[in-house]
Amino acid sequence: MRDSKLLVYGYQFLAVAFLFYLAQLACALLFSRAGGACAYSSGALLSANVLFLLGAVLIAADRVVPMLSGYSRKSLIYKPVPDSRVAVGMTAYNDELSIEAAARDFAGQERVAGVVVVDNNSVDRTSEAAARAGVKVVKETVQGYGACCMRAMREAMALGEDLVCLVEGDCTFSGSDLKKMLAYIENADMVLGTRTTMELNTPDSQLNPLIRWGNVLMAKLLQVRFHSVRLTDVGCTFRLIRRPALEKIIDQLEVTGNHFSCEMMLVALKNNLMVIEIPVTLKKRVGDSKGVGGNIAKASVTAFEMWKLIMFR
Ligand SMILES: Nc1nc2c(ncn2[C@@H]2O[C@H](COP(=O)(O)OP(=O)(O)OP(=O)(O)O)[C@@H](O)[C@H]2O)c(=O)[nH]1
Ligand SMILES: [Mg+2]
């Protein structure tokens, strides 16, 4: 997998330059209608030209660097996992209304060997509800979506199966989608779900246009950086990963907050793992939203944190 920040910077310089040009065009049009001249400063135009040039140079350099360093594209992998079983790590945070049904749903899937629910300092009866589903329940005291996901994967890994599935316990995802992921894992180290396929969303799911396009935008930025991968979502918790691949990256994960899912994708790609994204179904969550789903301010902060990761890490 080729990691190129040059291209990410390059395209963003071009995008900003394009906005400057658009502003100038709008200004000129407005003033010509009013019979005057646009006072758009020559400094702004010069900045746009410099940004454009810089962007073009970075994009061109991105073509030259691999020629010099002898880069070759990662080729198709085929590693069947016919009888492998799946250990599921499920996150939970004040999810007493959903966790039992979610745990039962995943535990009941054909290839699932076990489910571990991680209760992240819930103050309701999440643990008791999860235990009613007959699954293992552990508590994670470090607060945060990322901390909970990491613990869920470590717990699932400890079950010793070949495959680890990470998922949220809020009933947004469906256990039956696991077989779609299993179909693709033979060509990948990690299969990511994407929630941005509208045909698979219920109309009342969390994927409103803002969340959808925000995710697509960030995912495309990540795609630009790593080239040979197609991404459309940076916030989908539902993913399936081979245990050796997870062992390789788990100690490099450090984000305890809401931008964790993007970090995991970035780290996987940096480690040259083969990552494939597939559409999964998305339903309205059961119980109250605590994450970014129903909160524009939180979603914006999370998007900014993701952008920083993609640009600088
Ligand atoms: N927000 C949040 N989620 C946590 C935390 N710890 C664990 N989680 C888990 O992460 C999930 C994400 O929060 P959700 O409320 O589902 O937010 P979301 O997925 O962004 O959006 P909706 O599903 O539409 O509500 C929770 O359901 C928990 O399973 C935490 O400290 N904060
Ligand atoms: Mg959720």
Domain segments of the chain: what residues?
5-69, 86-312
pLDDT at 80: 92
Pocket test for ligand 1, best of 99, 140, 145 (most atoms within 8 A of CB): 145
Q: What is the mean pLDDT of the chain?
A: 94
Quick check: 238 and 177 in contact, CB under 8 A? yes
CA-nearest residue for atom 12, ligand 1, is 291
**In the numeric block, which tokens belong to residue 22?**
């658009």
Write out the CATH class of domain 86-312.
alpha beta
pLDDT at 261: 98
Answer positive or negative: Cα dihedral of 76, 81, 82, 87: negative
10-residue mean pLDDT series, the chain (313 residues): 89 93 85 74 84 94 81 83 93 98 98 98 98 98 98 98 98 98 97 97 92 96 93 98 98 98 98 97 95 86 96 94
Q: Tell me, letter by letter, the H, E, C secondary structure of the chain.
A: CCCCHHHHHHHHHHHHHHHHHHHHHHHHHHHHHCCCCCCCCHHHHHHHHHHHHHHHHHHHHHHHHHHHHCCCCCCCCCCCCCCCCEEEEEEECCCCCCHHHHHHHHHCCCCEEEEEEEECCCCCCHHHHHHHCCCEEEECCCCCHHHHHHHHHHHHHCCCCCEEEEEECCCCCCHHHHHHHHHHHCCCCEEEEECCCHHHECCCCCCCHHHHHHHHHHHHHHHHHHCCCCCCCCCCCCEEEEHHHHHHHHHHCCCCCCCHHHHHHHHHHHCCCCEEEEECCECCCCCCCCCCCCCHHHHHHHHHHHHHHHHHC
pLDDT at 292: 86
pLDDT at 291: 82
**Distance in angstroms (rounded) separating the CA atoms of residues 311 and 13:** 13
Pocket lined around ligand 1, Cβ cut-off 6 Å:
91-93, 95, 120, 143-145, 148, 168-170, 172, 206, 285, 289-294
**Distance in Å, CA 145 to ligand 1 centroid:** 6
How open is the CA angle 305-230-111, to the nearest 5 degrees? 95
pLDDT at 228: 84
* pLDDT single digits (tens) 279-303: 999 999 999 998 887 788 999 999 9
**Distance in Å, CA 309 to ligand 1 centroid:** 20
CA-nearest residue for atom 25, ligand 1, is 289
CA-nearest residue for atom 13, ligand 1, is 291
